Amino acid sequence: MIFFYWIFSYLLGNLLTAWWIGKWKKIDLRSIRSGNLGARNAGVVLGKTAFLLTFLGDALKGILIIFIGFYFNFTPWAVAMGGLLVILGHIYPFWLKFKGGKGIATFIGVTLTFNPFLFGILVACFILLIALLRSATVSMAFAFLTYTLISGLYYEFHHTWPLSLAVLLILIRHRFDLIESWNAIWWKKKY
């Protein structure tokens, strides 16, 4: 049963909301601006409504997978693995030559449902950091890392490594954005 849950998790991750919205608008988001099939690119290219629908659709995938795992009383590790796989499916969809989104909205859906208390810490950390750094990208990275560290204290390691790996994959997908944002922060502080 768990094996089918994991396969379903990856396949559900393959349903990229931005791709479907772009198809409806007759626009291939993979060939415009960043080429990313996520909420930010959808919002820049297609507007605020596309951003909101993409974010909610991608987050809903994460919420649904974690809810299903807990509904069937799978162990926290098995549910966290489902969370990793839905994010993996979002970032690397097989049917789009493994070029999908960057995983933020799906991770938010996963973490919100996996442990709402730890999700609250993630949000508080993000709000504090964005007030200090004025960069959503860098604040998100530090908030996700903080979530990983605190969840490691809250759960046993074998429960948290799948979501820690998800954070690593998300940060790798954002590496160029992070470098650009960090340099902008550094230059603002220096001059």
Residue 180: pLDDT band (50, 70, 90) is confident
Q: In this model, does residue 79 exceed pLDDT 80? A: yes
Number of Cα atoms under 13 Å in the Cβ half of residue 124: 8
Token pair 């530090």 is at which residue? 142
Q: In this model, does residue 104 exceed pLDDT 70? A: yes
Residue 186: pLDDT band (50, 70, 90) is low
Of the two residues 128 and 189, the one the predictor is more confident about is 128
Q: Taking residues 31-41, what's their average pLDDT?
A: 88
> Is residue 77 within 8 Å of 158, Cβ to Cβ?
yes
Q: In this model, does residue 184 exceed pLDDT 80? A: no
Q: Letter for the amino acid at 9?
A: S
Measured distance CA(62)–CA(112) in Å, rounded: 9
Measured distance CA(170)–CA(108) in Å, rounded: 12
Q: In this model, does residue 187 exceed pLDDT 70? A: no
pLDDT for the residue 37: 92
Q: In this model, does residue 46 exceed pLDDT 60? A: yes
Nearest to 90 by CA among 39, 162, 32, 143: 39
Measured distance CA(167)–CA(169) in Å, rounded: 5
Q: Taking residues 158-162, what's their average pLDDT?
A: 84
